[in-house]
């Protein structure tokens, strides 16, 4: 157990040194192939077609063709079809972390460790590498963007009720009760997203919760792990008292309530604030702030979880894997690409040095502008560096994702206790995993 | 002669309620295209906001990504038009063969063709994809058009129309008069099954216009997308992180994308109704 710790320490030290040197140059990328090469890239990163122009300028003999399929299930269906068919796949494709294992299982992804990808591990925030290289040897993707968790809150509302931004969950619970009493139940301190499993999982992730683990050829699934139970019971207690709401995320109802100051705080991934600014526009503009998520025990080190984010995979079919790896590394480590991806699409980088780029902290632009000019990217950078490294997904996660909504619905209707809901989630999802042919327990 | 119906107030009420129920989504669409994304979430869904953003929405729709929406519209017309036309030709000829001629294994073959209607299209995607890859047709217009030409349901419908609308005596008489088989089919037969042609054409057009899965798998270049795929990509990007959401623009695009279908039904609906009744009674 000593060794990995030392490694991590060295890693973060090198990351620190790297970040410290002013105007750090991009890492040395692998050599470009000699001949003329065309790379096909499937990605929904906004403005990527313009970003690749800079790449093509730096590597004139590599021609990159970008296809934007918008992401989501349809993109995966298409990618899966080509991987199963053994032909027609792009060289590089964008895949969200949670879906990487199911593509690994098709055997259609290249193991990038054979091409020297592990040499670049040190440039990424540690937990992101855990997402693309679960066993620490084979590397199935290059981390791209991330969604570490922070707390967002309405500064004006908290001040109105005389509440300081809570630093622990105990303080948060107390704040929720105070706000409920003082506002006559009109203003809720928080909101539980009952239809987004990854939101809930991120909160448990911050507590060290583990949901899936590959064990040789089989899997261990623990959806009802102690952290999950602790987190869900905590929230259910506040929900039952009416201290927090259960408005669905990304709905007009939610934006209206949040815009009107009826939801005083929430827990959002690094890409969330951009959505707040875009969806609420002038309502509540400048009144929001971001802070570290509350901790279970008061501490100076911040532990957080993650919701969302994606990676660049190289397919086994690619005829130019070396160039594809080069492009994936450049796309996610070069200052040019990270800056453009942030400006065009609000992609919060997986690159450790990228977290400190000045462009992320521009106070005159959203999301920081919507957050009263606060440098919220620094809050999210702290969060990202505090995300637990060991966290795995399973190929059948899409089923778990849907089944979660069913169990939460039953729980909110009072038909299941939080523990029963999580046990049912575990049981039904495990049965499905076995039905899909996985050896899981 | 259309008989004038007298409705009871209760019936009128029920019909009115149903009409409102059916038209409400369309009303929402019309109201929404006048809003920007902020109003979409902050104003009442079934009434207009205080400021119209229709011109901005139109502008975004037709200029985003260098005006690719127009390209998608043209693609949709090419895909659906060619598929409809080709599928009418194939179905009419094959249906004629099954109706007019006697040949060995006819019933078995027809049964086999009917059976293929039952095969879900998703099951065919992988083999189709592999075939097109082998033939080098991926990322071409043909990849979307060719599979649509094979239309077993159209063939079945056309056979019904031929059976009902083209008397075999007529064919015999024409043969005796010395008309060739092609002339009989084309000059004598086709005008008699015009309703059928329109029906099959409309069905094929609508199916091809709305087709999503086939172009999704078969083409990977944005300039080959049809409207369905293109708008869906915009919708996905709109809901992905950090993007300026353009939902109202997408709604406007969707409304425009159904106009050709509305137009087709209004102009050809007459034939279509007659055709369906024909098939229903005489088939």
**B7: in domain:** no
Beta carbons of A85 and B133 less than 8 Å apart: yes
| Chain A CB within 8 Å of residue B41 CB | yes
What is residue B190's predicted lDDT score, i.e. its pLDDT? 92
Hey, of B241, B244, B247, B253, which one would you mutate to test binding to chain A, going by the most A CBs within 10 A of its CB?
Answer: B241
Of B45, B232, B241, the CB nearest to A70: B232
pLDDT above 90 (res A288):
yes
Pairing of strands A37-42, A92-96: parallel
DSSP chain B: -PPPPPPPHHHHHHHHHHHHHHHHHHHHHHHHTTS-HHHHHHS-TTS--SS--HHHHHHHHHHHHHHHHHHHHHHHHHHHHHHHHHHHHHHHHHHHHHHH---TTHHHHHHHHHHHHTS-HHHHHHHHHHHHHHTT-TTSHHHHHHHHH--HHHHHHHHHHHHHHS-HHHHHHHHHTT--HHHIIIIIIGGGGHHHHHHHHHHHHHHHHH--HHHHHH---GGG--HHHHHHHHHHHHHSTT----HHHHHHHHHHHHHHHHHHHHHHHHHHHHHHHHHHHH-
Beta carbons of A84 and B42 less than 8 Å apart: no
What is residue B242's predicted lDDT score, i.e. its pLDDT? 54
Which residue in B148, B147, B166, B155 sits closest to B91, CA to CA?
B155
Mean pLDDT of chain A: 91
Q: How confident is the model at residue A421 (pLDDT cuts 50, 70, 90)?
A: very high
> Each residue of A219-266: pLDDT tens digit?
999 999 999 999 999 999 999 999 999 999 888 889 889 999 999 999
* A378 contacts A174 by C-beta, under 8 angstroms: no
Beta carbons of B38 and A281 less than 8 Å apart: yes
pLDDT above 80 (res B2):
no
Measured between alpha carbons, how far is A339 from A174 in angstroms, rounded to an integer?
A: 40
Residues of A in contact with B235 (CB under 8 A): 70
What is residue B276's predicted lDDT score, i.e. its pLDDT? 54
Beta carbons of B236 and A44 less than 8 Å apart: yes
Query: Nearest C-alpha of chain A: how many angstroms from B111?
Result: 30
**B15: in domain:** no
Domains in chain A: ranges and CATH = 2-147+305-361 (3.40.190.10), 148-302+391-435 (3.40.190.10)
Residues of A in contact with B126 (CB under 8 A): 81, 84-85
Residues of B in contact with A252 (CB under 8 A): 40-42, 45
| Chain A CB within 8 Å of residue B237 CB | yes
What is residue A5's predicted lDDT score, i.e. its pLDDT? 45
CB burial readout A386-403, b (16+ within 10 A) else e: bbbeebbbbbbbebbbeb
Q: How confident is the model at residue A6 (pLDDT cuts 50, 70, 90)?
A: very low
Q: How confident is the model at residue A107 (pLDDT cuts 50, 70, 90)?
A: very high
**B54: in domain:** no
| Chain A CB within 8 Å of residue B24 CB | no
| Chain A CB within 8 Å of residue B133 CB | yes
CATH number assigned to the domain comprising residue B244: 1.10.3720.10
| Chain B CB within 8 Å of residue A285 CB | no
Q: Let me know if B179 is exposed, middle or buried by CB neighbors in 10 A (0-12, 13-18, 19+).
A: middle
Cα radius of gyration (chain A) = 22
**B63: in domain:** no
Hey, of A44, A81, A285, which one would you mutate to test binding to chain B, going by the most B CBs within 10 A of its CB?
Answer: A81
DSSP A55-114: HHHHSTTEEEEEE---SSHHHHHHHHHHHHHTSS--SEEEEEGGGHHHHHHTT-B--GGG
What is residue B65's predicted lDDT score, i.e. its pLDDT? 86
Beta carbons of A275 and B40 less than 8 Å apart: no
Beta carbons of A74 and B236 less than 8 Å apart: yes
Q: For chains A and B, count residue pairs whose Cβ atoms are closer than 8 Å.
A: 100
| Chain A CB within 8 Å of residue B66 CB | no
Of A85, A275, A283, the CB nearest to B126: A85
Number of domains composing chain B? 1
Nearest chain A residue to B229 by CA: give it: A69
| Chain B CB within 8 Å of residue A208 CB | no
pLDDT above 50 (res A10):
no
pTM (predicted TM-score): 0.83
Please report, in angstroms and rounded to a whole number, the separation of the first and last CA atoms in chain A.
26
> Each residue of A172-231: pLDDT tens digit?
999 999 999 999 999 999 999 999 999 999 999 999 999 999 988 899 999 999 999 999
Query: Nearest C-alpha of chain A: how many angstroms from B47?
Result: 15
Nearest chain B residue to A47 by CA: give it: B65
Residues of A in contact with B138 (CB under 8 A): 88
| Chain A CB within 8 Å of residue B239 CB | yes
Q: How confident is the model at residue B281 (pLDDT cuts 50, 70, 90)?
A: very low
**B17: in domain:** no
Pairing of strands A142-154, A306-314: antiparallel
Hey, of A85, A87, A346, A349, which one would you mutate to test binding to chain B, going by the most B CBs within 10 A of its CB?
Answer: A85
> Each residue of B210-233: pLDDT tens digit?
999 889 989 988 899 999 999 998
Which residue in B151, B199, B174, B153 sits closest to B100, CA to CA?
B174
Task: Residue B100: give the domain boundaries.
Answer: 68-282
Determine if the peptide bond prior to A313 is cis (ω within 30°): no
Q: ipTM for the complex?
A: 0.74
Measured between alpha carbons, how far is B267 from A330 in angstroms, rounded to an integer?
A: 55
Beta carbons of B242 and A72 less than 8 Å apart: no
Query: Nearest C-alpha of chain B: how many angstroms from A65?
Result: 9
Residues shown for chain B: 283
Q: How confident is the model at residue A273 (pLDDT cuts 50, 70, 90)?
A: very high
**B267: in domain:** yes
Residues of A in contact with B123 (CB under 8 A): none
Q: What tokens were used for A291?
A: 């802070």
What is residue A71's predicted lDDT score, i.e. its pLDDT? 83
> For the residues A34-48, what does the mean pLDDT come to?
92
What is residue A299's predicted lDDT score, i.e. its pLDDT? 87
Higher confidence at residue A387 or residue A70?
A: A387
| Chain A CB within 8 Å of residue B242 CB | yes
Which residue in A310, A248, A293 sits closest to A387, CA to CA?
A293
> Each residue of A301-317: pLDDT tens digit?
999 999 999 999 999 99
| Chain A CB within 8 Å of residue B273 CB | no
| Chain B CB within 8 Å of residue A127 CB | no
Cβ neighbours for A125, distance < 8 A, ≥ 6 positions apart: A143, A146, A350, A351, A352, A355, A384, A385, A387
Q: What tokens were used for A407?
A: 């169990």
Nearest chain A residue to B230 by CA: give it: A69
Of A44, A82, A252, the CB nearest to B240: A44
Nearest chain B residue to A274 by CA: give it: B242
Residues of A in contact with B45 (CB under 8 A): 252
| Chain B CB within 8 Å of residue A87 CB | yes
* A64 contacts A56 by C-beta, under 8 angstroms: yes
C-alpha distances out from residue A178 to A249, A260, A264, A293, Å: 24, 19, 12, 19
**B249: in domain:** yes
Nearest chain A residue to B222 by CA: give it: A67
Q: What tokens were used for B127?
A: 């083999």
| Chain B CB within 8 Å of residue A148 CB | no
pLDDT above 50 (res A8):
no
Residues of B in contact with A283 (CB under 8 A): 42
Nearest chain B residue to A367 by CA: give it: B242
| Chain A CB within 8 Å of residue B221 CB | yes
Which residue in A187, A200, A156 sits closest to A407, CA to CA?
A200
Beta carbons of B242 and A42 less than 8 Å apart: no
pLDDT above 80 (res A24):
no
* Three-point CA angle B176, B181, B186, nearest 5°: 115
**B31: in domain:** no
């Amino acid at each position: 157990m000593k060794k990995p710790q030392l490694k991590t320490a060295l890693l973060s030290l090198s990351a620190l040194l790297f970040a410290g040197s002013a105007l750090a140059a991009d890492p040395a990328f692998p050599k470009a192939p000699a001949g003329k090469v065309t790379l096909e890239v499937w990605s929904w990163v906004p403005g990527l077609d313009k970003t690749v122009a800079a790449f093509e300028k730096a590597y004139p003999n590599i021609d990159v063709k970008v296809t934007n399929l918008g992401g989501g299930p349809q993109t995966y269906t298409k990618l899966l079809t080509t991987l199963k068919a053994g032909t027609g796949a792009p060289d590089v494709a964008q895949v969200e972390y949670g879906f990487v294992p199911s593509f690994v299982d098709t055997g259609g992804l290249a193991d990038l460790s054979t091409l020297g990808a592990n040499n670049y591990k040190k440039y990424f925030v540690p937990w992101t590498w855990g997402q693309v290289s679960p066993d620490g040897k084979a590397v199935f993707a290059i981390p791209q963007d991330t969604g570490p968790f922070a707390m967002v809150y309405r500064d004006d509302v908290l001040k109105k009720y005389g509440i300081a931004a809570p630093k622990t969950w105990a303080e948060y619970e107390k704040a929720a009760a105070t706000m409920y009493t003082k506002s006559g139940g009109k203003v809720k301190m928080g909101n539980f997203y009952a239809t987004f499993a990854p939101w809930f999982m991120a909160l448990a992730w911050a507590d060290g919760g583990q949901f899936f683990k590959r064990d040789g050829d089989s899997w261990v699934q623990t959806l009802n792990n102690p952290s999950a139970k602790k987190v869900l019971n905590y929230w259910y207690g506040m929900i039952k008292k009416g201290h927090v709401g259960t408005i669905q995320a990304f709905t007009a109802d939610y934006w209206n309530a949040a815009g009107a100051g009826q939801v005083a705080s929430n827990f959002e991934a690094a890409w969330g604030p951009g959505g707040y600014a875009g969806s609420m526009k002038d309502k509540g503009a400048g009144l929001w702030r971001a802070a570290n998520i509350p901790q279970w025990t008061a501490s100076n080190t911040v532990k957080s979880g993650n919701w969302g984010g994606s990676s660049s995979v190289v397919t086994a079919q690619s005829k130019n894997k070396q160039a594809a790896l080069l492009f994936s590394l450049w796309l996610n480590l070069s200052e040019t690409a990270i800056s453009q991806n942030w400006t065009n699409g609000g992609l919060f980088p997986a690159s450790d040095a990228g977290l400190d780029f000045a462009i992320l902290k521009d106070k005159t632009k959203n999301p920081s502008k919507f957050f009263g000019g606060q440098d919220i990217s620094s809050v999210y950078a702290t969060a990202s560096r505090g995300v637990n490294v060991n966290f795995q997904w399973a190929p059948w996660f899409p089923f778990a994702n849907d089944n979660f909504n069913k169990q939460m619905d039953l729980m909110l209707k009072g038909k299941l206790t939080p523990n029963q809901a999580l046990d049912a989630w575990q049981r039904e999802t495990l049965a499905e995993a076995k039905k899909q042919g996985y050896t899981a327990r | 002669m259309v008989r004038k119906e007298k409705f009871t107030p209760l019936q009128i009420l029920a019909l009115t309620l149903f009409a409102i129920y059916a038209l409400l989504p369309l009303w929402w669409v019309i109201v929404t295209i006048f809003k920007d994304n902020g109003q979409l979430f902050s104003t009442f869904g079934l009434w207009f906001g205080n400021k119209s953003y229709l011109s901005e929405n139109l502008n975004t729709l037709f200029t985003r990504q260098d005006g690719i929406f127009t390209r998608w519209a043209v693609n949709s017309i090419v895909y659906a038009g060619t598929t409809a036309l080709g599928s009418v030709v194939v179905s009419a000829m094959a249906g004629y063969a099954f109706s007019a001629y006697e040949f060995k294994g006819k019933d078995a073959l027809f049964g086999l063709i009917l059976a293929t209607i039952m095969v879900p299209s998703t099951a065919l995607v992988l083999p189709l994809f592999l075939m097109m890859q082998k033939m080098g047709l991926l990322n071409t217009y043909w990849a979307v058009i060719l599979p649509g030409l094979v239309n077993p349901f159209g063939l079945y419908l056309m056979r019904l129309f031929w059976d009902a609308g083209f008397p075999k005596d007529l064919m015999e008489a024409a043969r005796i008069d010395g008309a060739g088989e092609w002339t009989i089919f084309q000059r004598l037969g086709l005008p008699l099954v015009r309703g059928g042609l329109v029906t099959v054409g409309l069905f094929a057009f609508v199916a091809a216009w709305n087709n999503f899965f086939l172009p999704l798998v078969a083409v990977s270049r944005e300039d080959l997308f049809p409207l369905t795929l293109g708008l869906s990509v915009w919708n996905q990007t709109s809901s992905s992180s950090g993007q300026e959401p353009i939902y109202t623009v997408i709604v406007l695009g969707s409304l425009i994308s159904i106009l050709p279908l509305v137009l087709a039904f209004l102009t050809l609906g007459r034939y279509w109704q007659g055709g369906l009744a024909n098939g229903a009674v005489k088939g």
